[in-house]
Amino acid sequence: MTTTQAPPPVKETFLPVIDTDAAPQHPRPGLGKPTSEESFTLIGTWVAALAMAWLVTQRLLPLGGWAWLVVAWFALGILFTIVTGFMSGRRIDVVDRVAGAVITAGALVVGAALVSTIGFVVFRGWEPLLHANFFLDDMSGVGPRDAFDRGGIGHAIVGSAIQLGIAIAITLPLGIGTAVFMTEVGGRFAGVVRTIVEAMTALPSIVAGLFIYTVLIVAVGFPRSGFAAAMALSVMMLPIIARAADVVLRVVPGGLREASLALGASRWSTVWHVVLPTARPGLATAVILGVARGVGETSPVLLTSGVATFMVTNPTEGVMNSLPLYIFKGARSPEPMDIERAFAAATVLLILVLALFVIARLVARQRTTAPRPSLLGRLRRPTHRQEIS
Amino acid sequence: MQSSYPDAPEVAPRKLARKATGVDRVFELCASAIGATVLIITGGIGAFLAGQSVPTLQRYGWSFFTESAWQPEADSLGIGAVLVGTISVAAVAMVIAFPLALLTALFISEYAPAGMRSTLISLVDLMAAVPSIIYGMWGYFLVMPHAAAFALWLQQNFGWIPFFKVDSDPNAAVWDQSRYIGSAFCAGIAVAMMVLPMSCAVMRQVFSQTPPGEKEAALALGSTRWGMVRTVVIPFGRGGIIGGTMLGLGRALGETIAVLLIISPDFVIKPRLLEVGTNTVSALIAGRFGDASAAQLSALLTAGFVLFVITLIVNTLAAIIVNRSRSGAGTDA
């Protein structure tokens, strides 16, 4: 028997042995619901951080006050997250947890700011709201020290309604008409109009007010009035509504237009019976949001309407008050009662904006619910579904 | 066109009329008339502002942009101080609003439970709809005392930075609160609240367009959630982050009423953000229009025109950047 000589060592390709069934070297980060251990670590970390923050700021260091407590809570929470993170994971897991904590904290800060804004305004202004006369009466003959059962913001509410009504009557047809022109007619001229309208959305509202003040009040000699204020609001709202309506009309499917035109409808009836009804929820949302922006704008009104303490219903007659202007004047007043009334008016304005906003949401939501199908559609739909399945 | 078959009769292509006729022509003309009206109204404002600023710029020349005083009686007018004030208020607002808007947008699009998402989006939109006067009152009555205390702390600890310097003794037994209120810093906080939801909405919208395939690919490769956000969502949404921030900046530059409520007007070019007294272009207009003569009105209009041009440039750049980022949305696998 000849012993076979061992072959000379050949460099072979190294093939790592991978055991696909073995557990990974480090546990993979979970993406689903946190396990009970993870939630315990998370809650425990932040409770411990709060306790430590209280101890540090309120007992050990001269940093009294809740602001320092919150800051210390956050800083210690991040620190404890790092520590507990290294107990169970690697650096990557720690970074993930810290990033999650920072992002959540940022969102919480924004939420707290929003809640504090609304809560503060309502908290400072709830008392006058309990009196019905606050919504109905005007401020004529009411002194700054009079009790809240005298006087109110009826004149400001009426003034705001009249000014906005005029502004809507001007901007709605013009804004939607321009959007129809830009999307349905098109051409080079429409491109120019679109460019200019988009550029004018950058116009600061105070400059819109100053323009109307210079042209209408100083040059023409028109008195400071609700009409002038309405013009200033229109100048501000027109580009906003036109641009928003343009965006809404552009997403109307072209097939609908072509179907209508192919059936022999004229351009106008296509727009009136097909394009505008399809875009109605979007248009309503655009208009309502434009109105919500207009109702709270103070600066154009400040320059053009003047301040009245009494009820004015004629927009061309003379000075007229409005809600934002009433709030502004009240907030600058040295009298605490005036400031409180301003906060109450701000609450009313806030509720008004909120109501407009909710209406806009409800109108916009209708888009998702399909319109009631026609008889033809109802007959066809099942076959269509069968084809899919 | 010659037919390829010599025997075939000559066929002229059917004529297609591209011009509208009859009722369609009327519709086109009416729509064009409305478009022209709006063009005249909106373009007229721009042209009017530009035209009004010609005499002022001829009168004062470049010193209109560098002169800090606004003293019409001494014939010395300039927007140097208010421009610096406008930019410093907007800068403070963006320093506060940018990180918060980014974090909130990331939270809503990536971290929030799916059931809460639409509610949170509505809340951000609602925040954008809150009138600026209300943020002004919030800033003036609630935040300003705390902001002044924070400003004192900043001065005590970081007073060597020129921005945080205040012309007042930081270690006095009773600190002089009136030196720390009405500053660009206080106004910037209120303006930040106004621009934050706007920037946040744009950022969130771009983040939500991130191709889900790429996000899932990152997660399938073993990435953590933050790793996925850092390597997929943020690079994809970079255009939206920049564009949303610039849109917010455009709004911050033109904000009037909250600034007017909070600041103490002052016409000095200074980098000291925490110190009382500053002014912005829009607050200048709101404060000075009432007692202005024709020439001063023209100067105010010029200031407004300069503000409009700056806002326009910022907004246009933002729109270009946001649109460009959306054009990359076609890379979905």
Whether residue A385 is predicted with pLDDT greater than 50 in this model: the reply is: no
Which chain A residues contact residue B114 at CB under 8 A? none
pTM: 0.83
pLDDT for res B220 = 87
pLDDT for res B2 = 52
Mean pLDDT of B96-111: 93
For A94-153, what is each residue's pLDDT tens digit? 898 899 999 999 999 999 999 999 999 999 888 888 888 888 888 777 777 777 778 788
How crowded is residue A169: how many other Cβ atoms within 10 Å of its Cβ?
Answer: 12
Who wins on pLDDT, B283 or B72?
Answer: B283
For B23-55, what is each residue's pLDDT tens digit? 888 888 888 898 888 888 888 888 888 888 888
Q: Does B319 touch chain A (CB under 8 A)?
A: yes
Angle in degrees, 0-180, between the axes of helices A91-129 and A66-88, rounded to the nearest 10: 150
Closest residue to A103, CB basis, from B111, B222, B307: B111
Average pLDDT, chain B: 83
Mean pLDDT of B126-148: 88
Mean pLDDT of A276-292: 83
| Closest to A32 measured CA to CA, from B191, B20, B113 | B113
Whether residue B107 is predicted with pLDDT greater than 90 in this model: the reply is: yes
pLDDT for res A222 = 83
In the numeric block, the tokens 């809600």 are attached to A323
Whether residue A41 is predicted with pLDDT greater than 50 in this model: the reply is: yes
Mean pLDDT of B209-228: 88
Closest residue to B282, CB basis, from A180, A184, A206: A206
Whether residue B195 is predicted with pLDDT greater than 80 in this model: the reply is: yes
- Supply B198's token pair: 């706007």
Which chain A residues contact residue B314 at CB under 8 A? 202
Whether residue A386 is predicted with pLDDT greater than 50 in this model: the reply is: no
Whether residue A379 is predicted with pLDDT greater than 50 in this model: the reply is: no
Which chain B residues contact residue A100 at CB under 8 A? 111, 225-226
pLDDT more than 90, % of chain B: 13
pLDDT for res A346 = 92
CA A251 to chain centre: 21
pLDDT for res B326 = 56
pLDDT for res B244 = 87
pLDDT for res A378 = 47
Of A209-218, B43-52, B283-292, least confident by mean pLDDT is: B283-292
Whether residue A227 is predicted with pLDDT greater than 50 in this model: the reply is: yes
Which chain B residues contact residue A299 at CB under 8 A? 256-257, 260, 282, 286
Q: Which A-chain residues 58-117 have CB contacts (< 8 A) with chain B?
A: 67, 92-93, 95-96, 99-100, 102-107, 109-111, 113-114, 116-117
Whether residue B62 is predicted with pLDDT greater than 70 in this model: the reply is: yes
Q: How does residue B4 score in pLDDT terms, banded at 50, 70 and 90?
A: low
Q: Do B27 and A111 touch (CB under 8 A)?
A: no
Who wins on pLDDT, A33 or A227?
Answer: A227
Whether residue B189 is predicted with pLDDT greater than 50 in this model: the reply is: yes
Which chain B residues contact residue A202 at CB under 8 A? 250, 254, 308, 311-312, 314-316
Whether residue A22 is predicted with pLDDT greater than 60 in this model: the reply is: yes
Who wins on pLDDT, B241 or A9?
Answer: B241
Q: Which A-chain residues 267-286 have CB contacts (< 8 A) with chain B?
A: 267-268, 271
For residue B126, what are the CA distances in angstroms to A120, B18, B119, B197, B248? 17, 46, 10, 9, 16
Report ipTM for this prediction.
0.83
Q: Does B125 touch chain A (CB under 8 A)?
A: yes
Who wins on pLDDT, A160 or A372?
Answer: A160
pLDDT for res A105 = 93
Whether residue A221 is predicted with pLDDT greater than 90 in this model: the reply is: no
Please say whether the beta carbons of B248 and B196 come within 8 A.
Answer: yes
Q: How does residue A34 score in pLDDT terms, banded at 50, 70 and 90?
A: confident
Average pLDDT, chain A: 82
Angle in degrees, 0-180, between the axes of helices A91-129 and B184-208, rounded to the nearest 10: 120
Q: Does A292 touch chain B (CB under 8 A)?
A: yes
Q: Does B153 touch chain A (CB under 8 A)?
A: no
pLDDT for res B93 = 93
Bridge partners, residue B87, by sequence: none
Of A321-335, A374-388, B58-72, least confident by mean pLDDT is: A374-388
Q: How does residue A29 score in pLDDT terms, banded at 50, 70 and 90?
A: low
pLDDT more than 70, % of chain A: 89
pLDDT for res A117 = 92
Q: Does B247 touch chain A (CB under 8 A)?
A: no
Q: Does A326 touch chain B (CB under 8 A)?
A: no
Q: Do A203 and B20 touch (CB under 8 A)?
A: no
Q: How does residue A77 score in pLDDT terms, banded at 50, 70 and 90?
A: very high
pLDDT for res B331 = 42
For A338-367, what is each residue's pLDDT tens digit? 888 899 999 999 998 888 888 887 877 764
Q: Does B158 touch chain A (CB under 8 A)?
A: no
Q: How does residue B327 score in pLDDT terms, banded at 50, 70 and 90?
A: very low
